[in-house]
Amino acid sequence: MKFCSHCGNPVIQRIPEGDSRVRFVCDHCQTIHYQNPNIVAGCLPVWGTKVLLCRRAIEPRLGFWTLPAGFMENGETVEQAARRETDEEACATVNNLSLYMMIDVPHISQVHVFYRAELANLQFAAGIESLEVQLFEEADIPWSELAFPTVSRTLECYYADRITQLYPVRSEALPPSRGIKKT
């Protein structure tokens, strides 16, 4: 950040009085510009024993498979964001959403939140951000073609939990070595 979005003057980095972190501060209008993590919200849509995945039509990771998910918008709840992203990417309607996985990705300032959800029906299609959408049995998941480590981890946990039919709410942190890179 170089300029204040409030008044247009240059900003500097310093620790504001009463704070403990370096922030972008405008010395002209005294606005402190806080930068906070982005929330990625999505669903793990299930139909019987199958999971719905989308092949990405956009970067990052164009052509790789993912769960339908994307950045939360202002004015919506995390669940609303997960439903919207599932509709946008897979043209799918989901029911019975249940919070399932929260993965902190601090090295890129993101939090990924996934809900387990049931597909309302088999009417789904590739949305504008997807090349194709497909239901996969566990044995057919294209593990080496998954777009993000958070998606891989969510699927790994889901298949482990499916054995017992117990789906706890999980919270983990993704170490930088597992790979999502900020673009």
Query: ω before 60 within 30° of 0 (cis)?
Result: yes
Which tokens go with 91? 């043209």
Read off the pLDDT of residues 40-64 as tens digits, 9 standing for 90 and up: 999 999 999 999 999 999 999 999 9
pLDDT at residue 183 in the model: 46
pLDDT at residue 175 in the model: 87
Query: Angle at the Cα of 51 (from 62 to 128), degrees rounded to 5?
Result: 35
For residue 103, what are the β-bridge partners? 112, 172
pLDDT above 90 coverage of the chain, percent: 95
Q: Decide if 4 contacts 32 (C-beta within 8 A).
A: no
Query: ω before 45 within 30° of 0 (cis)?
Result: no
Pairing of strands 94-105, 170-173: parallel
pLDDT at residue 54 in the model: 98
Read off the pLDDT of residues 128-173 as tens digits, 9 standing for 90 and up: 999 999 999 999 999 999 999 999 999 999 999 999 999 999 999 9
- Whether the model clears a pTM of 0.85, i.e. scores above it, the answer is yes
Rounded to whole angstroms, how far apart are CA atoms 124 and 135? 10
Domains, the chain, with CATH or none:
1-35 (2.20.70.10), 38-175 (3.90.79.10)
